[in-house]
A and B are shown apart, each in its own frame.
Chain A
């Protein structure tokens, strides 16, 4: 560790009952280098958070530009090429720079060691290097995208991507570097969770967020190398003219789609599984009741991770694959729906006979449940072969994956951010403001994407810069919704940012959670825990009671006196 442990600092931590404010991870050292060279997982998580939210802002502005352009059928602010570059940028920024690293790298980095009662991840230096790889990959990617205008879509389908003038090689190298960042993070979490669990934390006493992170990490480590190989092959084809995917050199363009989706479909689960982990925590903590069917949720995370590897072919149902292959992929695709459905029912029944408090994170969790259910159910239309022939590559698909990716992952990420914000920053935000942001986001989201389902089934193809008059009204609804959604997100940002300056100090346990992160101060001290805490059931709330003086939850005085706090 880089920081010097003086006897004094240990002493202050040991006497944490005293009123002297302890230096926390944010304040124990100062200066640019203390952040730039930090090995502290919490600081790295926070730096990721800033980077990821900046990417999200960029991707969001691009989305609003796209929707504004589509308000009228013909050409408005952007030429066809301009529009094509915009949707490419929007997709690429959102997928590679925001959603994939959002939960694991930002919240995961902060939470995994604390939830384990550990001091840090297994490989702190690898952790920092993965952050710098993310930065480098992002810089590479953005420079490539903005300098000449990539217009291949985020999927880089060949042979278009080998023929177009855009900086495909530079952009794919950016993706390649970002992939390594993702692999390192995954590897770190796998080792951390396997080896650093504290005494008493068996696999089935792990918080469900850790189960989800573990499942995600497995996918990151196993699937991301395939993306690396794919983009290298693509670069080799463009530069060396080796025939792999381009029929002009005897390659097969559909082979690229297989390669690409062999990574990118599991990547969908890299995006959604950690979000599911967050929802499991949120539903339980804010219902003040242990999660319903803990083992089913844990197993279903692993099941989704495994099945997720076998369904990539459903992106190619109309590409002319053999019929038997197509039918097998359809069957495999449906297998993923079952564990997802099980999770939804379990979350729902977690509230049954609980004590539900509608604080901001819970509002987002309920919004997730609503939106993810729509996202999941509309997948049935796309997984079944006859309806997919009509719906494939239309706005129905666009709406479906936005309900899953955005209604799922983004909403869960926001819920998690509001949930752990007091822990990360040490400040409480304005509760009413948070609830309003959740409501506005929810309304805006549905107004944006519900019309797109109808548009799609009526035949509106995706990635169209201009469209037929008959879709105008639905497009306008969608655009209005997008701006409402944008406003909701700005409210959310305002609520969080103003808490930095005006929020009251957060108590150690504002919500009444019982996973280990709520057992250390807010924000946590540099070392998280002085000694590995002894672990019991992570969802046993019977010992916690609300204390008005603290403004948060504390252990019942009688439990503390009887020495249950080991």
Chain B
């Protein structure tokens, strides 16, 4: 099956991906305006350089003149003109920036939780997803927090990004003007899988979005499927693999019922109680090989309901 949004990865112009938000036309116009200013200055400087090098080159029978040492008119000109241009660039940049900083009063708010190395988007009705789904032509506000280190959410097609700093909530707003799927990157270095901390931004019509949202807010009924659903959306996936490979924390594969060496010298069997305790109070016990990394795991107390923990346990049990 051809996925139409793959085509969206192709740059729409030489410098930019396609314009998919209301910010894009202003940013692109301004970028090209500054680009032309730069090209004019650069051409003047390089042309002058080549001309001078050629015209005043050292050669037999030619003697330069040491007279031209300064010229007030010239020096004032090349101070004042760049200053005026730079003032315009500054003002225009602030104009675009204030627009990006001023969301309309009515916005559709989505909570963003960034963890190493996972995006989790939470919609007003409680639905969770790993890709960002939004309706077209509607102002969206992202309320973003990080569970561990600094991340940064960047959607090139929307021309906007904002850092996600632990210990504070940063917000960002935009309004999509084009349907399709667009890249969403983490742009603040956050460790091992920084370059894989990517998601898609899916822009749909309001009807399609509503349909998707209704579906997304219904978790699977089967406990194992529900556990997998939670595993993918609650951030477990960032550190714990299900195929036996080592990411940060131990893999879940084939671990249930096994006996493990703990850092305090005890031997513990991985059972339901161990899993529940590791989710709610992860620092209380650490396996011997993971003692140094245990601080990277945050407690999920208050974030997961009891039945959700049971579902996750069922899922882990199922991984033979």
Contacts and interface: CB of A to CB of B under 8 A. Distances in A.
Interface of A: 80-81, 84, 151, 153, 157, 159-160, 163-165, 247-248, 250-254, 287-296, 318-320, 323, 326-327, 330-331, 334, 337-338, 341-342, 344-346, 348-349, 351-358, 366, 369-370, 373-374, 377-378, 380-381, 383-390, 392-394, 454, 457-459, 461-470, 540-542
Contact of B191 (A160, A247, A320, A374): A160
B45 A351 contact: no
B296 to A, nearest CB: 6
A390 B42 contact: no
Given A380-B38, A390-B159, A459-B185, A385 B96 contact: yes
B150 A157 contact: yes
A464 B194 contact: yes
Interface in B162-215: 162-163, 165-168, 170, 183, 185-196, 198
Given A380-B34, A457-B16, A461-B154, A337 B86 contact: yes
B295 to A, nearest CB: 7
A345 B163 CA distance: 38
Contacts of B41: 373, 377
Contacts of A253: 150, 165-167
Contacts of B94: 327, 330, 385-386
A394 B95 CA distance: 22
A323 B98 contact: yes
Given A320-B168, A356-B56, A369 B45 contact: yes
Contact of A377 (B17, B38, B193, B194): B38
Given A389-B159, A459-B17, A292 B42 contact: no
Nearest to A453: B15
Interface stretch (B47-55, B121-129, B250-258, B305-313): B47-55
Contacts, number: 272
A455 to B, nearest CB: 10
Contacts of B195: 80, 461, 463-467
11 contacts: A287-B64, A296-B75, A320-B165, A357-B58, A381-B31, A383-B89, A383-B90, A385-B97, A386-B92, A386-B95, A461-B185
B27 A355 contact: no
A344 B160 CA distance: 33
Interface stretch (B77-85, B260-268, B270-278): B77-85
Contacts of A381: 31, 34-35
B90 A393 contact: no
Interface in B85-107: 86-87, 89-90, 92-101
A24 B21 CA distance: 69
A351 B56 contact: yes
Nearest to A245: B167
Contact of A247 (B159, B167, B198): B167
B34 A320 contact: no
Contacts of B11: 458, 470
B243 interface: no
Interface residues of B, number: 91
A80 B193 CA distance: 7
B194 A463 contact: yes
B93 A330 contact: yes
B161 interface: yes
Contacts of A345: 45, 75, 78
Nearest to A83: B195
Nearest to A335: B86
Nearest to A339: B79
B183 A318 contact: no
Interface stretch (B66-74, B133-141, B220-228, B234-242): B66-74
Contacts of A540: 66
A546 to B, nearest CB: 10
Given A338-B83, A356-B57, A468-B9, A386 B196 contact: no
Contacts of A352: 52, 56, 68
B170 A294 contact: no
B38 A389 contact: no
A236 B190 CA distance: 22
Given A341-B82, A389-B159, A393-B187, A163 B295 contact: yes
Contacts of A454: 14-15
A353 B67 CA distance: 8
A163 B192 contact: no
